[in-house]
Structure 1
Amino acid sequence: MKKDEIILYGLDEHKDVIDKIITEIENFEESFDIRLMLIEALTNAFKHGNKCCVERPIYLRYVLNEKNIKFEIEDSGTGFKNINIPDAIYDENLLNDSGRGLFLIKCMADKIEFKNNILIIQKYLTAKKNKAQN
């Protein structure tokens, strides 16, 4: 089992942090999903929780084992208020500047929950098939 906590100030290093996590889980098929979920979650934490202030920390904690990965993304905001994640994105909202991040996370995660100013995302992992097996 692997546990880690990373503290980000702004989004300058978020791609490197995500790449590091993806490298740790390279033997699983969910790398794309995890990359997209983390990009959306960290962007939301920075924009909405921290109000784009680079002096406020974003905590990214995760626990990785052979079956799943669980993320906690904690911003410095006041918490989630009346979050309603849509079940679909309609054509008239498709090109809006915001509103799709949590929807995408919900679609890709196996479990998503909110606790104060912490977004908790869980994803079950599937080992990649060995090319020799095909």
Structure 2
Amino acid sequence: MTKKLEVYKCNICGNIVIVMHPGVGTLVCCGKPMQLLEEKTKDVGMEKHVPVVEKTDKGIKVKVGSISHPMVNEHYIEWIEISKDEDEVYIKFLKPGMNPEAKFEGIEKVDKARGYCNIHGLWSYKQ
């Protein structure tokens, strides 16, 4: 059974799915079950992966890592997501060469922030 906002990855083609509507079946891609990604919060390298949430005059700014994460073709943050609850979620997509951060204007408070590293997976910070 899937849960709302869980993140799954295909280990064959790399397809990533965020569950919008939970179901009882198994998510399948390329003929194989998809892997549920664990939300890491601490580990070796957390200083470059755990989202850091800052309140600004205009809203919320999320930086991935207290030490700036690399943003090169081979290793970068693909997306940053914030949520107030499971019914209000915002995502910004990043590309190599960009700063590993996202600004969400008009948002005053978040309960959770997540970032996805193309090498080291899914990382989260919860208030």
TM-score using structure 2 length: 0.27
Q: Which has the higher strand share?
A: 2
Which protein shows a greater Rg? 1
TM-score using structure 1 length: 0.26
Relative contact order higher in (CA < 8 Å, ≥ 6 apart): 1
Q: Which has the higher helix share?
A: 1
